[in-house]
Amino acid sequence: MADTITFSEEVSNLLYATEGEPLKTCIQCGTCSGTCPVAGYMDHTPRQIIALINQGRKEEVLNSNTYWYCASCYHCTVRCPQEINISELMYALKRYSIWKHQHKEGLVGPTFSEAFVKMIIRTGRSFEPILAPSYIFSFNLREFLLEVQNATELLLKGRLPILPARIKRMDNFKRMLGRIIPMGGLE
Amino acid sequence: MKEFAYFPGCSLEKMAISYHLSALETTRKLGIKLSEIEDWNCCGATAYYNIDELLTDTLCARNLAIAEKTGLELVAPCSACYKNMYFTADHLKKDPDLADHINFALEEDNLHYKGTVKVKHLIEVFVQDIGMEELKAKATHPLNGTKVAPYYGCQILRPRKDHEDVEQPQFFEELLSSIGATPVNYPLKMRCCGGSLILSSRTAALGMVRNLLQSAVDAQASVIATACPMCQVNLECYQQQVNQEFGTNFSVPIMYFTQLVGLAMGISKKKLGIGKEFVAVAPSLLQAGQN
């Protein structure tokens, strides 16, 4: 039988920026969880998610909201005594979950991220109104109205763009991205 | 006059136009020229990383290559843009294979990145290139002890970029002191505001905004100073929603540090983009700056 790699190794392989990521060296001290400003809203704290990965409990990891609640503030990363780049790990788990088309129900993050990237590929610039459909349906009526109120006030204060901005060399830009990603995947 | 290549970023075009206006106005008066780079693209914020790392580095590398042609250091006023471009420059320097791969893509836009660009955050230009002495000398209308909460947020400091103090930084306090304000000490000054979560994980983000506002208010701050458009929008535009959600009564103006520096230099509030806020700036502060 061919050798297979463990879930923990699979996750480590997803980390380009932190190549050689020592997930295995985690000593479970909990500094990350104590530092994390979002830990209270996560299904598993950062310490727990690392423990689950190292134990190969893939299904629990894939069904956790933890990494989609990571705010990318890197506070855990600068404090980890084992120098594990936990924020990059959270990004890697998001990518893994998108590729596997598996995530906890009701999360906005996956659709929002894809909508964001598609927007950039089309215009080269960010244009907030285009993103609304990816999250607005997750709001209840009250939240929806509050969001409309915010948008209206921004508009009145001249802080909301009416038309999307576009970079000039759009054709070059698209061909450039074509050399990096299979365009079929996101178009 | 020292010149920098300037990457405003998408937010500064509209949502954070006040930051753009006040950055240009104050630097000009402080002898710094910010020259916007041509045809820049979005840095990717946090969302690119969720999809693909190579894509993030490529998009940031395009901006770096455009900036490199100017031979100047590159300045970003937004902490997220700064962090992304800083680390792309870092990755490309450390990994020649990655640089080759990305340069192959950049050829399509007739660009090539050699790897020479130094990326700075706008606040570093004020702290390092202009310096406290110069700021103090130019502060003809000092802010008379206005209590300001310096809000560092996340990505100016983290992840660690060089040898900066990521636990007890003081440069924002020093900057505020140099223009006559009194910086308040509050425990959450480097705690994340939840900006990247406000649309996707609203409950968590509102809770984070609430904690931050409370911490600054408890320390008697009458205004919170920020160096990031994401933090400004999150802390200001969602203040009302926090009040409704938690039954609080916050009304704290959130200003860009460049607006405070501008007021202290006697620049008119219009030129600093003041007047576009959800939470109005107190007339006393505006006066302090104009007297």
Residues B140 and B176 in one domain: yes
Q: Which residues of B65-95 are buried (b: 16+ CB within 10 A; e: fewer)?
A: bbbbebebbbbbbbbbbbbbbbbbbebbeeb
Residue type, A57: R
pLDDT at A114: 85
Q: Taking residues B267-282, what's their average pLDDT? A: 94
Candidate from A72, A159, A175 with C-beta closest to B108: A175
The per-residue pLDDT for A5 is 85
Residues B142 and B272 in one domain: yes
B247: in domain: yes
Asked if residues B222 and B148 have their Cβ atoms less than 8 Å apart, the reply is yes
Percent of chain B with pLDDT over 70: 98
Q: What is the band of B171 on the pLDDT scale with cuts at 50, 70, 90?
A: very high
Same domain, yes or no: B111 and B160 = no
Domain extent at residue B263: 132-286
Q: Between A and B, how many residue pairs show a Cβ–Cβ distance under 8 A? A: 188
> pLDDT by residue (tens digit) across B144-165?
889 999 999 999 999 988 888 9
Which residues is A176 bridged to in the sheet?
none
Q: Are B266 and B273 in contact (CB under 8 A)?
A: no
B116 and B165 inside one domain: no
B191, B199, B204: residue with CB nearest A112: B199
Same domain, B141 and B216: yes
Q: How many domains does chain B have?
A: 2
Mean local confidence (pLDDT), B185-193: 96
Asked if residue B160 and residue B99 are part of one domain, the reply reads no
* A159: contact with B, CB 8 A cutoff: yes
Residue that finishes a domain, picked among B90, B121, B152: B121
Q: Kindly state the percentage of chain A with pLDDT values over 90.
A: 43
pLDDT in tens, A31-58: 999 999 999 999 999 999 999 999 999 9
3-class DSSP state of A96: helix
Residue B50 clears pLDDT 80, i.e. is over it: no
Mark yes or no for CB contact A161/B191 under 8 Å: no
Write out the H or E segment, with its range, that includes residue B135: helix B132-138
Q: What is the pLDDT of residues B67-101, one digit of tens each?
A: 999 999 999 999 999 999 999 999 999 999 999 99
Contact assignment for B154 to A71 by CB distance below 8 Å: yes
DSSP B173-194: HHHHHHTT-EEPP-TTTTS---
- Comparing C-alpha atoms, which of B223, B220, B196, B195 is closest to residue B209? B195
One domain, residues B164 and B279: yes
- Residue A140 has a pLDDT of 87
Record: fold of A7-99: Fumarate Reductase Iron-sulfur Protein; Chain B, domain 2 (1.10.1060)
pTM over 0.90: yes
Residues B58 and B167 occupy one common structural domain: no
Residues B26 and B167 in one domain: no
Q: Does A91 touch chain B (CB under 8 A)?
A: yes
- Where among B69, B96, B121 does a domain terminate? B121
Q: Which of residues 66-125 of B touch A (CB under 8 A)?
A: 87, 91, 102, 104-110
Q: CATH number of the domain at B238, please.
A: 3.40.50.11810
Spell out the residues 6+ positions from residue B7 whose beta carbon is closer than 8 angstroms to its own. B36, B37, B40, B43, B63, B67, B74, B75, B76, B81, B85
d(Cα B275, Cα B261) in Å, to the nearest integer? 16
Which of B121, B140, B168 delimits the end of a domain?
B121
Across residues A144-160, what is the average pLDDT? 89
The answer to whether residue B291 sits within a structural domain is no
Determine the average pLDDT of the residues in B102-123.
Answer: 97
Question: Is B4 an 8 Å CB contact of chain A?
Answer: no
Give yes or no: residues B100 and B136 share one domain: no
* Other CB atoms within 10 Å distance of the CB of residue B31: 12
For range B15-31, the mean pLDDT: 97
Q: What is the mean pLDDT of chain B?
A: 94
* Same domain (yes/no): B116, B136: no
Q: What is the pLDDT of residues A103-119, one digit of tens each?
A: 998 898 888 888 888 88
Span A125-149, pLDDT tens digits: 988 777 888 888 888 888 888 988 9
Say what the ipTM of the complex is: 0.93
pLDDT the model gives residue B291: 47
Domain-embedded: residue B126? no
H or E element in which residue B75 lies: strand B74-76
Q: B206 with B237, same domain? A: yes
Partner-chain residue, chosen from B11, B39, B47, that has the shortest CB–CB distance to A117: B47
CA angle B235, B236, B240 (to 5 degrees): 100
What sign for the dihedral angle of Cα B225, B229, B234, B240?
A: positive
Adjacent-strand bridge partners of B35: B5
Q: In chain A, where are the structural domains located? A: 7-99, 109-185
C-beta of residue B225 within 8 angstroms of C-beta of residue B256 = yes
